[in-house]
Amino acid sequence: MTTGTPVSQTPSRYLGACQPDVAVGWRLERLTAPSRLFGANGLRTGPDGRIYIAQVTGSQISALDITTGDVETISAKGGDIVAPDDVAFDTHGNLVATEVMNGRVSLRDTSGRTRVLRDDVPSANGITFHNGRLFIGECREGGRLMEFDLGGGPPRILLENVPSPNAMEVGPDGLLYFPVMGANEIWRIDPDAGADARSNGALRGQPEIVATGLGVPDSVKFDADGFIVSTQVASGQVLRIDPRTGDQTVLAQLNPGLDNCTLVDGRLFVSNFTGEITEVLAGGQTRTTLPGGLNWPMDIAVGGDGRLYVADGTYFYALGADGSLDTVGMLFSPGYPGFLRGLTPSGPGGFVVTTSGGQIGRYRPAHDETDFLADGFDQLYGVALAPGGIVAAELGTGNIVSVDGSGNVGVLASGLADPIGVTVTSGGEVLVSESGAGRVVRVTPSGTDIVVDGLVRPQGILALEGSLYIVDAGQKAVIEVDLGTGARTTIAAGLPVGPPPGVVPKPLLGMPPFSGPQGPFAGIAAGPDGTLYVSADGEGSVMALKRDRT
């Protein structure tokens, strides 16, 4: 049960003013509220009593004041720290962050300077300090637990071949406790054990199982009474576990996608992939401290049922009439295809999708199933249905690929500069946005022809009734082009799409096995009445452009 109202008053994660300018005859509506964060991953209570929040996909670290609700950006998108997944503080107040996609661990000192401690830690994730000692874990199959040498020497390996360890903590007994996602367990180990190990169990340097049969644990912290507090990513439970017996108590039942937790003066706060920060109160009650929202969003589509669907990477949503985001599927739900990017309707209740793992699939969320039609692609984005089957943009190779009804894969065009958006005209022509060349081209039997040039970074495109609609993330605009005459009109400008002005995001390399390389994609779709829906990925919202019929 939720009590109270959100504390945060922060309007948006988008830095800088956003004052959209809409052409005469159109009006702009925001269908969902802007997101405060780029999701929420690792949590840590800082020396100043604020909650520090790592945001992987936004390459951002923010600090939340739980009293005022103010959110301050500590390490911004485009800065030195890339894809932070967890944070910890040393005794001097310096912040250390694991950079999961770059395999790095970096230190940001109290004056704001950042330096890399190590860059050879694949899937660096869990992190904790204890008595001046720094422990790190790799969240991957066959991951390692290690203690860093703060003097710059090689790390000391505590344990190898761990199936995806995550956020860890040293308990009151001096043992290192950590969730093991691949085993659905919590383990502990003596961080001081070595060749002269003293006794048995964990004290011999061998891991000991503390709790099992969980809901895929991804964090371990300790409360004031010495009990484990652990979030469960798949079940959405927050558990209190007796480390002596393994007995479990459910503190709260929340939505799946929980990532981490922290305590502030005895108060318990947990994070969700959506960016929501929730306080867990007594008796199973909860209070939203920071509301969640969209992480990107990327492609969008109107389904056969007339609802608007949003591909948001880890989540797949249907938009409610009141602007609510109804979860249709998520990364840990049955049959979910993986980190979603491209999206197009295909039959009743079905969608053809592309994933950051390089797959094209037919997803039926109501049946919790995905049929993968083709695999092994390099950075797929937009996807569309064509007379001969499915077409998709493969940004990593510069190809436009096709998949026919028998599963045969072909290449319709090659050598394109970062192709990302795809649409098919009523006449069956395939149009592609080349984000790296600032243009839209038509695929022909002999190559491509330019349809529109002079753009900056076109992404989502849509052919509709003789017009082409383009989301140009570089111009932060939606542009209409008459496919017959070539005349173009800027329908809306100053939109919160792409990064804020002056921000150049660092590449996100991906996090196997959860996702491949990640990148932005501002999609566009149309409703039966001609309404245009746009992914405002800069601020994490969905917008609608409607013709003024008056």
310 and 177 in a common domain? no
492 and 361 in a common domain? yes
In a domain, 322, yes or no: yes
Mean pLDDT value of segment 59-85: 96
200 and 59 in a common domain? yes
Is pLDDT above 90 for 204?
A: no
183 and 327 in a common domain? no
In a domain, 20, yes or no: no
Looking at the chain, the number of H-run helices and the number of E-run strands are 0, 49
448 and 352 in a common domain? yes
β-pair partners for 26: 547
In a domain, 168, yes or no: yes
Is pLDDT above 90 for 8?
A: no
526 and 380 in a common domain? yes
Last residue of a domain, one of 167, 197, 218: 218
Is pLDDT above 70 for 274?
A: yes
Is pLDDT above 90 for 4?
A: no
In a domain, 236, yes or no: no
Determine the pLDDT at residue 131.
Answer: 95
342 and 214 in a common domain? no
CATH number, residue 181: 2.120.10.30
Determine the pLDDT at residue 550.
Answer: 63
In a domain, 463, yes or no: yes
Say how many C-beta atoms besides its own lie within 10 A of residue 397's C-beta: 16
- Distance CA(394)–CA(93), nearest Å, equals 44
Give the position of tokens 């790095």: 104
The pTM for the full model equals 0.93
In a domain, 12, yes or no: no
Determine the pLDDT at residue 347.
Answer: 87
Q: Which residues contact 523 (CB under 8 A, 6 or more apart)?
A: 297, 298, 299, 300, 301, 311, 343, 382, 421, 459, 460, 471, 534, 535
**Rounded (5°) CA angle 186-192-196:** 120
485 and 391 in a common domain? yes
Q: Are 131 and 143 in contact (CB under 8 A)?
A: no
Percent of the chain with pLDDT over 90: 89
305 and 212 in a common domain? no
Is pLDDT above 50 for 406?
A: yes
DSSP per-residue letters across 435-491: TTTTEEEEEETTEEEEEE-S-SSEEEEEEETTEEEEEETTTTEEEEEETTT--EEEE
Determine the pLDDT at residue 194.
Answer: 53
Owning domain of residue 134: 36-218
Split into its structural domains, the chain has a count of: 2
Mean pLDDT value of segment 507-524: 90
For strands 26-30 and 258-264, give the pairing.
Answer: unpaired
138 and 44 in a common domain? yes
At 221-252, the pLDDT tens digits run 999 999 999 999 999 999 999 999 999 999 99
In a domain, 273, yes or no: no
309 and 214 in a common domain? no
Q: What six digits make up the tokens of 75?
A: 């390490």
319 and 199 in a common domain? no
In a domain, 510, yes or no: no
